[in-house]
Amino acid sequence: MSRAEEHWERLVRAALRRERTGDDAYGRPVGGIAGNVPSALAKNRDIDEILRVADEIEDDDPNISRILCEHAYSLSQNLDPNSEGRGVLQFKTGLMSVIKQKLTKREAGTIDRSQDIARLQEFYKSYREKHNVDKLCEEEMKLRESGAFSRDLGELERKTLKRKRVFATLKVLGTVLEQLCEEEIPDELKRLMDSDSALTEDLIAYNIIPLDASSSTNAIVYFPEVQAAVSALKYFNGLPELPRGYFIQPTRNATMFDFLQCTFGFQKDNVANQHEHIVHLLANEQSRLRIPEDAEPKLDEAAVQAIFLKSLQNYINWCDYLGIQPVWSSLEAVSKEKKLLYVSLYFLIWGEASNIRFLPECLCYIFHHMAREMDEILRQQIAQPANSCIYDSKDGVSFLDNVIFPLYDIVSAEAANNDNGKAPHSSWRNYDDFNEYFWSIHCFELSWPWRKSSPFFQKPQPRSKKMLIPGSSRHQGKTSFVEHRTFFHLYHSFHRLWIFLFMMFQGLTILAFNNGKLNAKTLREVLSLGPTFVVMKFFESVLDIFMMYGAYSTTRRSAVSRIFLRFLWFSLASVFITFLYVKALQEESNINGNSVVFRLYVIVIGIYAGVQFFISFLMRIPACHRLTNQCDRFPLISFVKWLRQERHYVGRGMYERSSDFIKYMLFWLVILSAKFAFAYFLQIRPLVDPTRAIIKEDNINYSWHDFVSKNNHNALTVVSVWAPVVAIYLLDIYVFYTLVSAVYGFLLGARDRLGEIRSLEALHRLFEQFPRAFMDTLHVPLPNRSSHQSSVQVVEKNKVDAARFAPFWNEIIRNLREEDYVTNFEMELLLMPKNSGDLPLVQWPLFLLASKIFLARDIAVESKDTQDEPWDRISRDDYMMYAVQECYYAIKFILTEILDDVGRKWVERIYDDINASITKRSIHVDFQLNKLALVITRVTALMGILKETETPELEKGAVRAVQDLYDVMRHDVLSINMRENYDTWSLLKKARDEGHLFEKLKWPKNTDLKMQVKRLYSLLTIKESASSIPKNLEARRRLQFFTNSLFMKMPCAKPVREMLSFSVFTPYYSEIVLYSMAELLKKNEDGISILFYLQKIYPDEWKNFLARIGRDENTLESELYDNPSDILELRFWASYRGQTLARTVRGMMYYRKALMLQTYLERTTAGDLEAAIGCEEVTDTHGFELSPEARAQADLKFTYVLTCQIYGKQKEEQKPEAADIALLMQRNEALRVAFIDVVETLKEGKVNTEYYSKLVKADINGKDKEIYSVKLPGNPKLGEGKPENQNHAIVFTRGNAVQTIDMNQDNYFEEALKMRNLLEEFHSDHGLRPPSILGVREHVFTGSVSSLASFMSNQETSFVTLGQRVLANPLKVRMHYGHPDVFDRIFHVTRGGISKASRVINISEDIYSGFNSTLRQGNITHHEYIQVRLVVY
């Protein structure tokens, strides 16, 4: 029976756990009943923690575990007594089964539950004593006081983690005790619990900055900019007092966010989220101002002003467009605190707006009224709820229910009526239609609070799938535009191009039929272009009417009026112009006719064309464009502009500076000149004579009956001849564009120095220039680097550059090794010495110097006549010269370090003699160069001994090796006159004869000295050339691109503290996260598994992987299955070579790693950089990933959010993807996962479905820790899935910029180093407006894997690289064609987001963000010095 009970309990635990069996990320067996509490019980976050602790202490005290389980059951029973929520009944049943099994296992009889509290109190004390809590805290504090960059950081990390786990358990035990105790807890225990509670403040869930509780473990709270931002948001004197019933946690002080929450009823987690958001923005803005640190940091007015204008610029523009006064009368009169209040209010509205975030001007309308309400409340003594948020509400004050839900309700009703996007667009309103309503002053008819009887809020009547039922007459429809699915869009959308092409074709044809002569007859015929133009414009106006069909009853009257006015205008114009031209022709044919009508026609055409040209020309001048915008208030100008183009809120001010327009015009002038020259000389003119001949021919007999050509000048024949020419003429403009853009793009790339390093040979040849180029581009500028210097100073400068470059280069190489692109041997050859020692030269990586010593030796042996001849030959190869110089100085340095005083005299004597011989140019006479091989052999033998660990035998061998070297130098090599230094040589000879020369050696124990010994040994032993290192093609390509980018123009790097902050944003649905072993071993119909396939296409990387995990290269994968750690590494190795989420996460987390390294190496002040370069601590990167300051600074500048829409559902359904996502969070502490949680709750006895947008991270126990949970007004998926997925989670992003990354993309560590340079492009000169989107190039690295991947790789080269290069410059029309572009985050989140989500019409959601950015006066650029990797299979 006992075994059956044990199996039953294990089964129940597995069911409740809902995780896959196996080990967790830390290698511990997964077990216990904690894991996933049903969503209906998720409001009580204590249940999961209680069950976790119950599982943890089960072996220590099963009775306490039973008490905790019973208490968790009691809490779940109180939350849902009838078990009506989804999964609650199963959870309770399983939990009760576990409790019963615990009771059955007891050997004793019944349990006396009256002693449970006493047992729990005793266990609390014993648990503290067992883990020695006081000592644990003391040890952590001592380690923390030892310094932020201490070598004991790894130990500090372990101590902190252990302390957090212990106090997390104590916190749960204390909470349960307080909830169970009806009587007072004993004073002694109460004091212990209070003291422990004070130490658990850093266990409160937070995202980046711990605001709700002080944290001594997170260095971010000690940054002065963070302290200044937090202090600025505190409750200030100008705010009304909070009501007495308003609760504030005792761990924090009141802030202005408490006032806003109390007044408008914002959700608690929304307030916490936006509080951190504002602090994050202000802190980063403050850090860029370079304000000297103060004892009490204060937020600068400039930082507040910058955030205020950036955040509310769209609101200011909206007020200006509608001609209304913003909530402030004068911006200069607004205090710093009031500005912070406005910004906080706006982002609180935005953070809780859900789908309404796609309606940016609607948010402006809401903010406008709520800010006015706030100003009224600020005049009161005590804060009162706003009327707009308590109107018609039974649950008290609630912004979500009273402001957002009515809007969401009507948007969702329209979305439900679109037949999944198949309904005509004229029959339902999408997001843009709702937003456009707020582009008119009539939007104020909605009043405030909402006037829900307005037609705007009237829901459409449900319609059947077969027929369209018109809605209520009060239903508000389209505002200004409706789209119909029709092929007429081919003309309507590009009518300007068609008109231009047809008119040019007509003009060129007229010129050709007049034999190229420009006379009066030709000019008269060319003027026939006038009727052609107005007739085609008339056709366009007809299409305008046709395209708006079905929306006249709901569209604004002004839009309908404009369409019919234009139709009337072009109808009259086409009739009038055509009539004049026909009359002019008739007069011309009439002998007695005069030219009055023709002159009138010319005057009319000239005036119209002149006015059009003049206006177009003026609109290209920025000053004139701004002037016309200021004159919009004048009725006549406003009417003319409205008739020419309807005035909208977006699309205004779309002009560039004159120089950019000239470049744009010249580019198209070249294309059009080439096209029309080709059309005239090779298409049109060659057909003139044949056409004339065909027309004149009147004796043609057709083999088929012809109705058209008969008696009609063979019209059908003429048409058949001209039709192909016309078709090619209309289409070949793209051919000319492609050719010209390819040539221009090539020239742009050459100007930007792209492709200068495209081979391994070039990389080797230019390597010595890399440190200087790195310092000029990717490193923080150092003072006095560019001043005039002597030769000695130049050497020191080069050494400084190399020392600064080496840590970054070495980290790049180590990452290549971790990614299994290079072998251990290749890594050793590629690593660069620190260059922080005393050698008077720059030490280069071994792959540049390998085998050079042996080549130099041979040259020296072969040359016997002069000293200059061998040195000239050696100097032709720079790296051979460097190798000789390094060996020369390294041997002296090592021998001087290890020998005693007598030995040092010998070394100094030898080197003095060598230097003297070099000066006298007699080294070939004074030294037997043909004996160099003996010297190299002896030095090699000595270095081979010294590189090993010291033992008595090796020490004796080292002494003999030095003595052998002495004998070779003394008897075989030296040919100098020793009498000049008789005393020294006699002393050495006497010591050698007596056998005690070099007896006392100092074994190399210093790290740098040991590395120098090993390096010299490698230089003297590697005989093969390393010209093919690295061998892996991907490693070569990456190093070539990185080093090439060092010579490209990019903004100067700011220190990490001053750089712009950014987020990376990756949408995920249900794709592969991490390959399971079953997926890797599953064979297809050809008997090929994924693992086998990967081994065959990446054979070198497979061998490198086996070496990395300590296995032989011939090891079979089946031999790895006995080690869980190897299995996990194998799964990651395979996943990193597939299109998986794990690969994307690893690549994006390189940003954080790069920032930590940059912060760690910039920890000295700018003035100390040069002075401190010789110190080991400055260039040593050991433990940089454990530095608290480096990690805190990286977290302040970088955030990574995965928006996994159905992660909650995947957890409930035990999907392997959920466990894999949790594993990724455990392995990446800075990773955050946002998802939609569907919660079923009881409301008035009915199950009610609620939706929450949640953000989680991994906690100290490897499980999900909920940070924020923001309730949504309903199901967020109303339109396209991906943009809706992005929209719900964008509130959790941080920073000035956001990079959008798809889960088929990857990143490199070396590219992550350039991110801060790229972000500075936002403040670089790119035209009249600063950039709003930074375009980044992609590289399809899997081009050799499949034909599809090869095609995508070629497509990337042609479009993504060449094409977008030209679109950005000179055309300045590049949009957003997908990821990995970098968005100006504040610009876009205040203007509708980074994508559009209307069903079907926005199915390609990415490109619409580019359209939206451009229409809202943004600027999109393209940059090619940085790239990401695109995976395509």
Q: pLDDT tens-digit profile of 70-120?
A: 887 788 777 777 776 667 777 777 777 777 666 665 545 566 667 777 777
pLDDT the model gives residue 871: 84
Closest by CA to 833, choosing from 877, 802, 788, is 802
Q: Which of 609-623, 783-797, 1254-1268 has the highest mean pLDDT?
A: 1254-1268
Give CA–CA dist 1261/162, Å, rounded: 10
**pLDDT tens digits, one per residue of 123-149:** 877 877 777 777 766 666 666 555 443
Give CA–CA dist 1258/1264, Å, rounded: 5
Q: Is the dihedral of CA 1157, 1158, 1159, 1160 positive or negative?
A: positive
Is the predicted pLDDT of residue 1166 greater than 50, yes or no?
no
Is the predicted pLDDT of residue 338 greater than 90, yes or no?
yes
Give CA–CA dist 357/84, Å, rounded: 34
**pLDDT tens digits, one per residue of 17-72:** 433 333 443 333 344 555 557 766 665 667 777 887 877 777 777 778 788 888 87
Q: What is the mean pLDDT of the chain?
A: 82
- Cβ proximity of 933 and 864 under 8 Å: no
Give CA–CA dist 1204/1211, Å, rounded: 11
What secondary structure does DSSP assign to 956-1025, as a single string?
A: HHHHHHHHHHHHIIIIIIB-S-GGGGHHHHHHHHHHHHHT-TT-S-----SHHHHHHHHHHHHHHH--S-
- Cβ proximity of 347 and 208 under 8 Å: no
- Least confident window among 34-38, 955-959, 1350-1354: 34-38
Pairing state of beta strands 1246-1258 and 1231-1243?
antiparallel
pLDDT the model gives residue 2: 47
Higher pLDDT, 618 or 1162: 1162
3-state DSSP helix/strand/coil percent for the chain, to nearest 5?
A: 60, 5, 35
* 278, amino acid identity: I
**pLDDT tens digits, one per residue of 229-260:** 999 999 988 889 888 878 887 777 889 999 99
Is the predicted pLDDT of residue 282 greater than 90, yes or no?
yes
pLDDT the model gives residue 708: 65
Is the predicted pLDDT of residue 713 greater than 90, yes or no?
no
User: Model confidence at 1401, in pLDDT bands (50, 70, 90)?
Assistant: confident
User: Model confidence at 469, in pLDDT bands (50, 70, 90)?
Assistant: very low
- Cβ proximity of 1113 and 1107 under 8 Å: yes
- Cβ proximity of 1233 and 1259 under 8 Å: no
pTM: 0.88
Give CA–CA dist 1385/15, Å, rounded: 43
What secondary structure does DSSP assign to 251-273, as a single string?
A: TS--BHHHHHHHHH---HHHHHH
Higher pLDDT, 335 or 1163: 335
Closest by CA to 559, choosing from 635, 649, 442, 648, is 648
Place of tokens 């957002």: 404
Q: Hey, what are 1386's tokens?
A: 């504040």
Higher pLDDT, 1158 or 1375: 1158
pLDDT the model gives residue 719: 87
Closest by CA to 662, choosing from 1371, 1401, 1389, is 1371
Give CA–CA dist 437/480, Å, rounded: 9
Give CA–CA dist 288/1059, Å, rounded: 7
Where helices occur in 323-466 by DSSP H, the ranges are: 336-351, 360-377, 399, 405-416, 431-436
3-state secondary structure 339-355: HHHHHHHHHHHHHCCHH
User: Model confidence at 1221, in pLDDT bands (50, 70, 90)?
Assistant: very high
Q: From residue 321, how far is each of 327, 361, 502, 648, 1277 by CA, in Å?
A: 15, 11, 38, 9, 32
Give CA–CA dist 4/10, Å, rounded: 10
Please state, as a whole number, how many other Cβ atoms lie within 10 Å of the Cβ of residue 21.
9
Is the predicted pLDDT of residue 387 greater than 90, yes or no?
no
CA dihedral 808, 810, 811, 816 (to 10 degrees): 130
CA 896: distance to chain centroid?
A: 51
- Cβ proximity of 484 and 549 under 8 Å: yes
Closest by CA to 806, choosing from 1296, 1178, 1197, is 1178
Closest by CA to 1236, choosing from 1433, 1069, 1417, is 1069
- Cβ proximity of 408 and 354 under 8 Å: yes
User: Model confidence at 13, in pLDDT bands (50, 70, 90)?
Assistant: very low
pLDDT the model gives residue 140: 64
Length of the chain: 1433
Residue 1249 sits at φ, ψ, to 5 deg, of: -90, 125
* 1244, amino acid identity: E
Give CA–CA dist 538/893, Å, rounded: 89
Higher pLDDT, 737 or 61: 737
- Cβ proximity of 1063 and 1198 under 8 Å: yes
**pLDDT tens digits, one per residue of 294-325:** 778 899 999 999 999 999 999 999 999 898 99
**pLDDT tens digits, one per residue of 856-875:** 888 888 876 777 788 888 88
Give CA–CA dist 1053/939, Å, rounded: 44
- Cβ proximity of 1298 and 1383 under 8 Å: yes
Give CA–CA dist 26/24, Å, rounded: 5
Q: Hey, what are 354's tokens?
A: 């859900």
**pLDDT tens digits, one per residue of 188-236:** 777 777 776 666 655 677 899 988 766 666 788 889 999 999 999 999 8
Beta-carbon contacts of 1185 under 8 Å, excluding residues fewer than 6 positions away, are 1153, 1156, 1191
- Cβ proximity of 1057 and 1163 under 8 Å: no
pLDDT the model gives residue 171: 80
pLDDT the model gives residue 22: 37
Closest by CA to 1067, choosing from 797, 1300, 1242, 1346, is 1300
**Percentage, residues of the chain above pLDDT 70:** 83
Higher pLDDT, 933 or 1105: 1105
Pairing state of beta strands 1382-1384 and 1231-1243?
unpaired
